[in-house]
Amino acid sequence: MTNEQELKRELQAIQKNHYDVPEDVDAYPYAQWMLDFIGSTDAELRDELIYSTLAKWIKNGVFRDKELRGLLLQTLSEDYLFYGIGEKETDSVFKRAFSVLIPPLILSIHEKKPFLSQEQLYSVAEQVLEYIYLEKDVRGYVEGKGWAHATAHAADALHALARSLPEQWFALELLKAAHHMIAKQDYVYTDLEDERLASAIFAVYEQQVLSAEEWRNWLYTLVDFKAYRPQNGVVLQNMKTFVRTLYFRAEKEKMHVFKQEILGVLWEIEGK
């Protein structure tokens, strides 16, 4: 039996036992072992077992603060978040895309009971932003191997950071990164990436660290998709979908002024 098969069997047993940590298991080294296989092409192991178990254990307070910091450093390292960075259509994307899902889990604990320093938060933000600009493989569902979903997962990390780091400089950087992700010229997003990005945008809006002018300026950068390649319908489609999502989210949240600003951008994108 391989290590991967052994881990899968053990995690299935843990899942059946309501994710309780087995009596003979030291959770932190066991979590590190799980992370060794977070890039597995076995969707059940990667997503339903490893990620789900880590999520439950983090949420349930299984790890001490220093262990959470250790897991954070591990997942943001060259061997995880930046593993095979720049590759497209390869299996390395699974390790990157699922590594970027771990920081939001840890940040959710920090948000309730702070244990990360400002410098550590800055470091997380800088590495997540760097990853976003370097990631080239933005596939959603990969046949036979399950979800990669790097854009949606990165958006979740931005969402968590927006809540933990309510500062103007980061808010502006997050908006730039969102624009970068949505303005892809070679991939039409079809797996609700726009919804996950919109959640990150509204998390920033709720912090009230940006002026109305800064929001207006950013919204109108979304019209500049023509600067990429006017004939590129992919960018146009991604932008339309994203701005429409922003509009309906603003309407749902009864943000009437913001909604009108978004509507103006949508009219320009659609040529009205």
H-type alpha helices, 63-192: 65-75, 92-99, 102-112, 118-134, 150-164, 168-182
pLDDT at position 1, please? 44
Share of the chain above pLDDT 90, in %: 87
pLDDT at position 185, please? 78
pLDDT at position 172, please? 98
pLDDT at position 226, please? 57
pLDDT at position 271, please? 72
d(CA 48, CA 14): 12
d(CA 68, CA 110): 10
Beta strand pairing status for 146-147 and 141-142?
antiparallel
pLDDT at position 228, please? 55
Per the prediction, the chain carries an average pLDDT of: 94
User: How many CB atoms are located within 10 Å of the residue 82 CB?
Assistant: 19
d(CA 196, CA 204): 13
Helices and strands, number each (H, E), in the chain: 14, 2
Domain ranges in the chain are: 64-269
Residues of the chain with pLDDT under 50: 1, 272
Can you spell out the DSSP letters for 65-78?
HHHHHHHHHHHTST
What are 91's two structure tokens? 């299996």
